[in-house]
Structure 1
């Protein structure tokens, strides 16, 4: 539904064409509501003659929400790519597939999260100082997301169920819940960072 809506609404930041569908994917009901409530405020309405930009100042909680979507979408994408790689490659750390999952997913999530933040800052050309700014800006919120997500997946893997693997629907359902929890643990970190001026509001 979000992707279909893009046909009549253009996002001002191109990275949001990935971010909003990702939010809708793992945060289905609230993510869809958030797009129509918040995402459309940052869009341009497309008509035959010209683009009409719809702009409205967002409340602070919405600015923080959009800031959180950048790192969380990058993290989610890294996690969704990393889990199958570890499973199909048979990777382990200290004899544990779960630890290998965490390691590979964290690396990919961190990389994608920084890229999402980088383009969320409006950067188009690679620049060492800009990349450093993106890392400095988003590192804490990325780590907060992964702590929440990994914490739940550890419980799901070791306590709730006797092992989970990416070739099952249950794994991805638990991963979806874990990503929602990751968003929740990342949100207050983003709130503090935006409030203190360490991260720009979206």
Structure 2
């Protein structure tokens, strides 16, 4: 059974995250803080789905600086390198987040298992969908910046995203194992519970932390663009 305090905390965290995501969408679409890079108009609110108020802070600190409105106001200070890497990591995390949400839901609704394990089925679905969406997000960032065509752009996006995405999933999958095998071994916590999605928010934040060093290295090597 899920403790009452965890259910309450889960609802607070999830509602806070949804509110933050909606506020960022409103800021971009209605208040007119349109991003230079169109894909970031998706990345910022998706990041808020797991990082909540922290994503809102990062968006206001760095996201608004990369907008046409900021240009009209004379521009904003350039981000330090560590912040540029963090924004690039949110880019990777957005694909992972959407892929994970979709895969977890499908595995749960269809009762899928791999080798008799729902957790392994979640791992497989999460990684495949996250990779597909992550490459697409990366393509729409890199291709316009470098002026690449479809084939070359997808090849470069795949090269840039596979390592960073894998690093993200290492952190998330490790946490999912803790959730399934240690915190809630019997009965397993499932996506029908708000506590499940709150703990997945925690896992995605861990994934961000494990992906950040890889993104740093990829940017330094010129494989990924500084965002």
Aligned to 1:150: 173
**Cα pair 2:143 2:153 within 8 Å, conserved:** no
- Which stretches of structure 1, 4 residues or more, deviate above 3 A after TM superposition? 50-56, 122-126
CA offset digits 1:81-132 (Å, max 9, x no partner): 1101011111100111110011011100011111111101144986211101
Aligned to 1:11: 35
For residue 178 of structure 1, the aligned residue among 195, 199, 203 is 203
With the length of structure 2 as denominator, give the TM-score of the two structures. 0.83
Cα shift at 1:35: 0.4
Structure 1: distance between partners of 2:56 and 2:196: 23
More helix by share: 2
Aligned to 1:92: 113
Structure 2: distance between partners of 1:93 and 1:53: 55
**Cα pair 1:27 1:176 within 8 Å, conserved:** yes
Structure 2: distance between partners of 1:109 and 1:54: 34
SS of corresponding position for 2:69: strand
**Cα pair 2:113 2:121 within 8 Å, conserved:** yes
Aligned to 1:129: 152
Distance 1:89 1:125, change over 3 A: farther
**Cα pair 2:143 2:149 within 8 Å, conserved:** no
SS of corresponding position for 1:176: helix
Distance 1:103 1:53, change over 3 A: farther
Cα shift at 1:55: 4.4
CA offset digits 1:117-169 (Å, max 9, x no partner): 11011449862111010000111000000000010011011101121211111
Structure 2: distance between partners of 1:64 and 1:45: 23
**Cα pair 1:74 1:116 within 8 Å, conserved:** yes
**Cα pair 1:73 1:113 within 8 Å, conserved:** yes
Structure 2: distance between partners of 1:39 and 1:53: 16
With the length of structure 1 as denominator, give the TM-score of the two structures. 0.93
Unaligned runs of 5+ in 2: 1-22
Q: CA RMSD in A?
A: 1.8
Cα shift at 1:53: 6.9
